[in-house]
Structure 1
Amino acid sequence: MLEKIFKLKQYNTNVRTEVIAGLTTFMTMAYILFLNPNILAGAGMDKDAVFFATAVAAGIVTIAMGLFVNFPIALAPGMGLNAYFASVAAQGVGIPWQTALGAVFISGVIFIILTITRVRQILVEAIPNSLKRATIVGIGLFITILGVKMSEIMVIKVGPVIPPTLEGLRGGGIPTLNYFEWNTSMGSFENPATLLALIGLIISGILMAKRVKGALLIGIIATTLIGIPMGVTQIPEQFNLFALPDFGNLAVGSLDIMGAVEMGIWTAIFTFTFVELFDTFGTLVGTAGKAGLLDKNGQSPRIGKAMMVDAFGVSFGALMGTSTVTAYIESTAGVGEGGRTGLTAVTTGILFLLALVLAPVAGLIPGAATAPALIIVGLLMIQAIGEIDFNDFTEGLPAFLTIVLMPFTGSIANGIAAGIVFYTLLKAVAGRFKEVHWLMYILFILVVARFLFLAE
């Protein structure tokens, strides 16, 4: 039966190799089970509910990738996109998380339409490689800042400005006064959470340097255990190591699609769509290429099917109650162990579903234990900066603005918008029109119109 479904002999593999590869992939990306609840908790979501949504969405969509596409690629809520989700729906200052889930669902529907019409493939061709790489780098810095905040290595305080400062001229030349400012400072070793995060960073760093499989997952668990005697990890009086999540607080079906439409949060929808677009394409092509599943032209008829499963996963994840589900580059770990077919993905997906019984463990893990993983993931993402040609100013400045505006303005959308505008503008002014895809000019107009007419 497995031979008939996955064509194991055709890809020169066997059941044992595929199962081991699936286990390896799971070990390298299982950290998301513990990291995602801590991140989305910042939006006011229940940790048990997010854990359930993460495990179920990752499990079912990954199994779908294996069965319908026969690719050894796993999917789960994406890093960077979950951080952006938390910033959009920040508790007390952002939109309701239900509305943010509605935005994610809409972006998934857009993906399905773009995939069916093949516009998605055209968009991937239209955006230059420098901006794709810059987006990855910018998100990496965005995630890193989130990590240092969670670790309390960087402390942000809001206080009054004395005396009030003149912020600038706005609307009709009317000066406005700034009465409050953000102050950042370093944490202290007297804070046990900060100390624990640094210990965790050392442990995870050593494991990564020694190329230990599942380094981030092991680092999170070890740091959580160390946090018990330090008083950072709080264990309730009644605690069961293995138990299903509390089904009474699930966020399944809690998304507010009409709320997202009525609030006009198209910037968030655009960002979810844009980032997922290139993140998924790069992961699919990169992983399939490493597995030898592409032809000599770097193409595969199954890439389109993989994109469709991914698009379905985005909306399905939102229905379950989590941020954007996307293909994981950690899938290359399983490929490195010999995974070549969908049996690898099915194995990983089943393990995600079985992990549901670890819900109590996920609830114990403090932010200080997951912060090191965020910082290290940020490092892995900024490595793409080496592929950007900063010697060409028409490539370098748009990429630079894309990178710095994401973490400095706290918005991935701002960075992407700046990159599109400056890339198109500088290339046109330099007379290098042919280097700009026609769709970039349309995106340029849309971005400018958005900031001119939809600023609020």
Structure 2
Amino acid sequence: MLERLFALKERNTSVRTEILAGLTTFITMAYIFLLAPNLLSLAGMDRDAVLIAAALGGGLVTIAMGILVNYPIALAPGVGLLAFYSFTVVLGMGLTWQTALGAVFISGLVFLVLTLTKIRQLIIESIPSSLKIAITVGIGLFICIIGLKLSGLMTISLSLQPGTLHDIITAKGHGAPGASETLLTLGNLQSPEVLLSLFGLFFTGALMARRITGALLIGIITTSILAYVTGIATLPETLTFMAIPDFSKIAFMELDIASAFNVGLVTIIFSFTFVELFDSMGTLIATATKAGIADPKKGSFPGLGRAMIVDSLGVSFGAMLGSSTITVFVESAAGVGAGGRTGLTAVTTGIMFIICLFFAPLIALVPNAATAPALILVGALMMEAIHEINFSDWTEGFPAYLVIVLMPFTYSIANGVAAGLIVYPLMKLITGRYKDVHWFMYVLALIVLTKYVFFN
């Protein structure tokens, strides 16, 4: 049965290899079930409900990817989109989490339409590689700044009132007489929580340097244990390690689609769709190529269309369950590196996700000081491709630079993406190189510019 379903012999693999590969992918991805409840609880969502939605949604969609597409790729709530959901959409814009879920649901439908009509392929082709790379790098910095804040390693020193440039930079006059403060400052390094985060950061970083499988998960667990051993965190009076999931807590169909259709959320829906678009496409192609399923040089990508359909349906399905965007994970490459070549790898990973549901009480014990270092390190991993941006060509480097810096500095992924879409074709026009730009980029630039001018 497994041979017929997954073509194991054709892809030169075995049941044992596929299962071990699935377990490897699970170990490298399991940290998301520690991060997701922590991040989305900041947006006012119930931690237990988030865990159930993330594990159940991610598990079922991953199993679907394995059975329907036969790809060794796993899906779960994306880290960057978790941060975007909580910090930009809910906390930054003051929207309810129900409205934010509505925006995620709509973005999944848009994603599906773009896939079925081939517009998705047109968008992929029109966006230059420098901007695609810059988006990934910018999201990495965005995630990093959130991790620094949650860990206490970075603090916002004060809220500034409008003033002169010198006053804004130095915050002169807002502190004690003669004092001069910065906008952001180093946290209190004498704080036990900050010291614990520092330990987690360097310990996990060392594991990653040694290429230890599951380094992020090992780091989170070790730091959590240390938190309780040292008394920095305290255990509840009644300690439970396993429990039957309380599915009554799940935020099933609590999304507010009507509010999400508000014209002011067009950019938010666009940002969810845009980030998911390039995240999933890049990961699908890269992982399928590494697994020997696809061959970019020959333009051969068997099953890619089906994979994108499953991915887009997973976005809306996750929103219905009460989770932010469920997307393909680059950590799937770990399973491929362990020999995974078929959907059996994904099915194994998906089953492990669902098993996580029964360990919700244990996962709830993980403190922010243990998960924050993982955010910082994931941000660092997303910086890797920055060297591929040609900064010596200002028409390429400047738009990419704006994308990268505006995401963390304006606390908005949408602002960074919008800047790149507008400035890139503008720079090409100014230098007389307008033919270097795909015609659809001008359409996207006009749409984004219209939004900022008339509907901001």
Do both proteins adopt the same fold according to a TM-score greater than 0.5, normalized to the shorter chain? yes
Q: Deviations over 1:381-410 (max 9, x none)?
A: 011101111111100000000000000000
In 2, Cα distance between equivalents of 1:245 and 1:278: 34
Equivalent residues in 2 for 1:65-80, closer than 5 Å: 65-80=65-80
Tell me if the contact between 1:402 and 1:418 (Cα under 8 Å) persists in the aligned partners: yes
1:205-238 deviation line (CA, Å, top 9, x unaligned) = 1111111111100100110110013333332111
**Structure 2 residue aligned with 1:421:** 422
Q: Quick check: 1:145 aligned with 2:149?
A: no
User: Per-residue deviation at 1:268?
Assistant: 0.8
Which stretch shifts more, 287-296 or 18-27?
287-296
- Cα distance, 1:204 vs structure 2: 0.5
Partner of 2:359 in structure 1? 358
Correspondence list, 1:54-203, <5 A: 54-91=54-91, 94-159=94-159, 161=161, 165=163, 183-203=183-203
Q: Report deviation, 1:93.
A: 6.1
**Residue in structure 2 matched with residue 327 of structure 1 by the alignment:** 328
Aligned to 1:243: 243
Aligned partner of residue 163 in structure 2, secondary structure? strand
Distance 1:226 1:405, change over 3 A: same
Matched residue, 2:347: 346
After TM superposition, the structure 1 = structure 2 runs for residues 209-220 of structure 1, keeping only pairs within 5 Å, are: 209-220=209-220
5+ residue gaps, structure 1, are 168-177
Match of 1:252 in 2: 252
Matches within 5 A, 1:392-411: 392-411=393-412
Distance 1:44 1:82 in 2: 13
Q: Judging changes above 3 Å, is the alpha-carbon distance between structure 1 residues 90 and 234 closer, same or farther for their aligned structure 2 residues?
A: farther
Give the Cα separation in 2 of the matches to 1:283 and 1:197.
30
Q: Bigger shift: 439-448 or 92-101?
A: 92-101
Q: Which amino acid aligns with 1:111?
A: F
Give the Cα separation in 2 of the matches to 1:222 and 1:212: 14
TM-score between both structures, scaled by the size of structure 2: 0.94
Amino acid paired to 1:53: A
Question: SS state of the match for residue 185, structure 1?
Answer: strand
Could you tell me how far apart the structure 1 residues matched to 2:215 and 2:132 are? 27
* Count of paired positions: 443
Equivalent position SS for 1:28: helix
Aligned residues with identical type, % of pairs:
56
For 1:299 and 1:283, the matched residues in 2 are separated by 16
Structure 1 residue runs of 4+, over 6 Å off?
A: 178-182
SS of the counterpart of 1:326? strand
Letter of the 1:242 counterpart:
M
Deviation at 1:435, TM superposition (A): 1.3
Cα RMSD between the aligned structures? Answer: 1.8
For 2:77 and 2:273, the matched residues in 1 are separated by: 14
Taking the aligned partners of 1:233 and 1:352, their CA distance within structure 2 comes to 26
**Length-normalised TM-score, structure 1:** 0.94
Shift of 1:367: 0.8
Which residue in the other structure is 2:170 paired with? Answer: none
Contact 2:82 / 2:324 at 8 angstroms: preserved in 1? yes
Deviation (angstroms), 1:91: 4.7
Q: Does 2:368 match 1:370? A: no
Q: Which runs of 5 or more structure 2 residues have no equivalent in the other structure?
A: 166-172, 176-180
Distance 1:244 1:150 in 2: 30
Is the Cα contact below 8 Å between 2:421 and 2:444 reproduced in 1? yes
Structure with more of its chain in strand, by fraction: 1
Which residue of structure 2 lines up, in the alignment, with residue 336 of structure 1?
A: 337
**8 A Cα contact 2:264 2:455, kept in partner:** no
Q: Displacement of 1:7 after TM fit?
A: 0.6
Q: How much has 1:138 moved relative to structure 2? A: 0.2
In 1, distance between residues paired with 2:210 and 2:349? Answer: 24
Q: Secondary structure at the match of 2:156?
A: strand
